[in-house]
A and B are shown apart, each in its own frame.
Chain A
Amino acid sequence: NAGVMQNPRHLVRRRGQEARLRCSPMKGHSHVYWYRQLPEEGLKFMVYLQKENIIDESGMPKERFSAEFPKEGPSILRIQQVVRGDSAAYFCASSPPEGGSREQFFGPGTRLTVL
């Protein structure tokens, strides 16, 4: 029973390039969340998605960042024209379809380094 999967685990990009981070939720989970963690800091919510719908994107920067969770395939967090300040660990989490889940299950994260 595989947990939440994220790839790549490590990603290096030069300033101005695009970064694509992928997340496959746990089997049977239809809710996906993306969080960002800067070094020595806590996790900050970015976006909450269900299949083909963005439910809450209140934590997403207004520019350069986008997320999707298509009917088929993984959820994608896309960062265009990356800058050094985007260097962080990006964690994806999932939860079951029933509302009010008390627990979110986190993936291993993607560590993005922008040179």
Chain B
Amino acid sequence: GQSLEQPSEVTAVEGAIVQINCTYQTSGFYGLSWYQQHDGGAPTFLSYNALDGLEETGRFSSFLSRSDSYGYLLLQELQMKDSASYFCAVRGTGGGNKLTFGTGTQLKVEL
């Protein structure tokens, strides 16, 4: 099976940098994704790591280390609108493209 663990809640101030970690146990996967979900909203794609290393997309960056079974999402220049839940997810190699999601991290951005 696959399991992905995240901190349940992170709080940071506007303008700061925050890192959301994701540790996983899986027999194999194509890549690690990150999704953002505002209260009552749909998950939206943020970033994807197929290979080890850092991927940068504007204010958001994501990192993957397969040897450490670990990844993280880095958010820079935090804005109030970044207050949301963030989920890591893996697309497994067992056939099909289904996503297995992490437990989710609720980010609160304060003034």
Q: Which residues of A contact B (CB under 8 A)?
A: 31, 33, 35, 41-45, 48, 55-56, 58-59, 91, 93, 95, 99-109
Question: Are A56 and B104 neighbours in the complex by a CB distance under 8 Å?
Answer: no
The listed residue (A42, A55, A101, A105) touching B103 by CB distance below 8 A is A42
Q: In chain B between 60 and 104, which residues have their CB closer than 8 angstroms to a CB of chain A?
A: 87, 91, 95-104
B96 contacts which of A41, A44, A55, A103 (Cβ < 8 Å)? A55
Contact residues of B with A, CB < 8 Å? 30-31, 33, 35, 41-45, 48, 50, 87, 91, 95-104
Contacts of A105 in B (CB 8 A): 45
Bound-complex Cα distance A34 to B100 (A) = 12
Q: Which residues of A contact B102 (CB under 8 A)?
A: 42
**Once the chains bind, are A106 and B44 in contact (CB under 8 Å)?**
yes
**A103/B48 contact (C-beta < 8 A), A91-B43, A108-B42 known:** yes
Q: With A41-B104, A102-B31, A103-B33 in contact, do A48 and B96 touch (Cβ < 8 Å)?
A: yes
CB distance from B90 to the nearest CB of A (A): 11
> What CA separation (Å) do A93 and B101 show in the bound complex?
14
Interface CB pairs A-B, < 8 A, 15: A33-B98, A35-B101, A41-B104, A43-B99, A45-B99, A48-B96, A56-B95, A56-B96, A56-B98, A99-B97, A100-B30, A101-B97, A102-B50, A102-B91, A106-B43
Q: Closest A residue to B42 by CB, please name it.
A: A106
Q: Determine the distance from Cα of A38 to Cα of B31 in the docked complex, in whole angstroms.
A: 25
List the 6 shortest-distance A-B pairs measured between CB atoms, nearest first.
Answer: A56-B96, A106-B42, A42-B101, A102-B48, A103-B45, A45-B98
By a CB distance below 8 angstroms, the chain B residues around A100 are: 30, 97
